[in-house]
């Protein structure tokens, strides 16, 4: 099947993803552990002042002895230090870099929609990673009453074709911003979901073990930012 250049839905979506990618790249960085092979992940610029730029990234990349390097969208790199850590996220401080820009946070409710993440392709490059919000809230009810499980309303679920991990088995996308098609951050990725669906034949034989992994689709959990 092919799509018209003027009216093709697929091409329109690709153009939208490319536009968002170009707009938000200055607010995304790669964070690398110096001296350790393949220890790198994504990060984002959340604040800048006259002296420093502050980056949100994952805490597992920054153990107590780690020396960290932040690489900006144009290849410029400089050292960074951890100033705050909570759960699987942390904030780094590095010297002010004028060519970077801070992310813009979305104010509103997340709905089922197309989104985009900026994913590490290597420790020196990134690429756009389209996704889709499949569950706009992870709140759930007990089967015997209407009590909402605590905290679930603060997270949503999305799918995308990205499963790369560091040698410590942590996803390189943890702490990565999830952008809507206006270039605003609607959430921060906090982890993966192992979602297994094993289709079987009528005799019970498994056809293949995980239909989503089979097609290269991975489920991510993201934290709401509004």
For residue 5, pLDDT over 60 is answered with no
Asked if residues 93 and 118 have their Cβ atoms less than 8 Å apart, the reply is no
As a whole number, mean pLDDT of residues 157-162 equals 92
For 182, other C-beta atoms within 10 Å of its C-beta total 11
What is the value of pTM for the model shown? 0.83
For residue 77, pLDDT over 90 is answered with yes
Model confidence at 174, in pLDDT bands (50, 70, 90)? very high
Which residues have C-beta within 8 Å of that of residue 115, sequence separation ≥ 6? Answer: 130, 131, 132, 133, 158, 178, 179, 180, 181, 186
As a whole number, mean pLDDT of residues 22-35 equals 95
Residue carrying the six token digits 């780094």: 92
Asked if residues 140 and 152 have their Cβ atoms less than 8 Å apart, the reply is yes
pLDDT in tens, 93-114: 999 999 999 999 999 989 999 9
| Domains of the chain listed by start with CATH number | 9-224 (2.40.10.120)
Q: Chain centroid to CA 90: how far?
A: 15
As a whole number, mean pLDDT of residues 62-72 equals 86
**Mean pLDDT for all residues in the chain:** 85
pLDDT in tens, 185-206: 999 999 988 665 566 677 766 5
Which range in 6-10, 12-16, 208-212 is most confidently predicted, on average pLDDT? 12-16
In this structure, is the dihedral angle defined by the CA atoms of residues 41, 171, 82 and 222, taken in order, positive or negative?
Answer: positive
Q: Which residue has the higher pLDDT, 10 or 120?
A: 120
Q: What share of the chain has pLDDT > 70, as a percent?
A: 81
* DSSP 8-state assignment for residue 147: P
């Amino acid at each position: 099947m092919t799509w018209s250049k003027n009216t093709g839905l697929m091409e329109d979506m690709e153009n939208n993803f490319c536009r968002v990618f170009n707009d938000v790249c200055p607010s995304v960085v790669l964070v690398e552990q110096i001296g350790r092979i393949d220890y790198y992940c994504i990060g984002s610029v959340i604040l800048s002042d006259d002296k420093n730029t502050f980056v949100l990234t994952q805490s597992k990349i920054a153990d107590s002895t780690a020396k960290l390097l932040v690489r900006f969208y144009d290849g410029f790199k400089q050292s960074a230090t951890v100033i705050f850590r909570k759960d699987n996220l942390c904030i780094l401080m590095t010297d002010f870099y004028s060519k970077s820009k801070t992310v813009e946070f979305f104010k509103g409710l997340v709905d089922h929609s197309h989104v985009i993440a900026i994913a590490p392709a290597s420790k020196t490059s990134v690429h756009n990673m389209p996704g889709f919000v499949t569950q706009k809230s992870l709140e759930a009810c007990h089967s015997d009453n209407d009590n909402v499980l605590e905290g679930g309303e603060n997270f949503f679920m999305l799918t995308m074709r990205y499963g790369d991990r560091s040698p410590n088995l942590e996803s390189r996308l943890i702490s990565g911003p999830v952008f809507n098609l206006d270039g605003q951050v609607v959430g921060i990725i906090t982890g993966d979901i192992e979602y297994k669906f094993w289709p079987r034949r009528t005799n019970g034989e498994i056809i293949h073990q995980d239909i989503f992994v089979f097609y290269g689709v991975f489920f991510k959990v993201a934290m709401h930012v509004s």
